[in-house]
Structure 1
């Protein structure tokens, strides 16, 4: 049940590359977090100059205007090891398949609980169905 927001500098990625990014993120969630394949909810946001800021060298990582901010809201419960493997695999796959720089893959996981989700109809489906995805 992840919800993904991807932000990037306008004109850095075309429609085809955004499709690749979407697919790679989705497949990585399936592979590393056991998310069902059909569970795909993603929004991409392009930003104009003056709307997108980043540190070019925070924590020793050399970033460029190709930076992707990937924010993933998902059910809590993944281990630190799972998260580290996910980060590594996602950066490697994006850099290989697009290609893009691994340094430009910035990921934030936002853990939450079943009661924090409604997939429509004003219902908390994950509570109703007793899911544990």
Structure 2
């Protein structure tokens, strides 16, 4: 049940590259976090240069204007090892698929709980299931 927001500087990525980025993110989520293939919710935001700020060398990582901010909100419970493996796989996929610099793959995972989600209809689907008759 991840929800992904990807932010980038306008004119850095185009209509051919964005679906490739989306697929790479989803592939890494499926492989490392066992996310179902149809659990697919992503939003891409381009920003003018005047709206997009970053340190070019924080922690001795040389970033460029090709930087992608990838924020993934998901259910808590993944191990540190899973997260580290996910970060590496995603950077590899983006680097190999788009010839993108690994230094420009910035990822933030935001852990949530089941009660923090509704997928529509004003219902907390992950906790209000027919088998528990709405009991939490």
User: TM-score normalized by structure 2?
Assistant: 0.94
Matches within 5 A, 1:32-47: 32-47=32-47
2:19 aligned with 1:19, yes or no?
yes
2:125 aligned with 1:128, yes or no?
no
Equivalent position of 1:65 in the other structure? 65
Unpaired runs of 5+ residues, structure 2, are 132-136
Rounded Cα–Cα distance in structure 1 between residues aligned with 2:30 and 2:116: 21
Equivalent position of 1:74 in the other structure? 74
Shift, 1:96, TM fit: 0.6
**4+ residue stretches of structure 1 with deviation over 4 A?**
none
Q: 1:37-88: CA deviations, max 9, x gaps?
A: 0000000000002100000000010000000000000000000000000000
Look at both structures and tell me which one has the larger radius of gyration over its CA atoms: 2
Matches within 5 A, 1:44-55: 44-55=44-55
Rounded Cα–Cα distance in structure 2 between residues aligned with 1:115 and 1:15: 35
Unpaired runs of 5+ residues, structure 1, are none
Equivalent position of 2:98 in the other structure? 98
Shift, 1:99, TM fit: 1.2
Rounded Cα–Cα distance in structure 1 between residues aligned with 2:77 and 2:44: 26
> Number of residues paired by the alignment?
130
Shift, 1:16, TM fit: 1.0
Shift, 1:120, TM fit: 0.2
Equivalent position of 2:9 in the other structure? 9
Equivalent position of 1:89 in the other structure? 89
Equivalent position of 1:116 in the other structure? 116
Rounded Cα–Cα distance in structure 2 between residues aligned with 1:61 and 1:126: 39
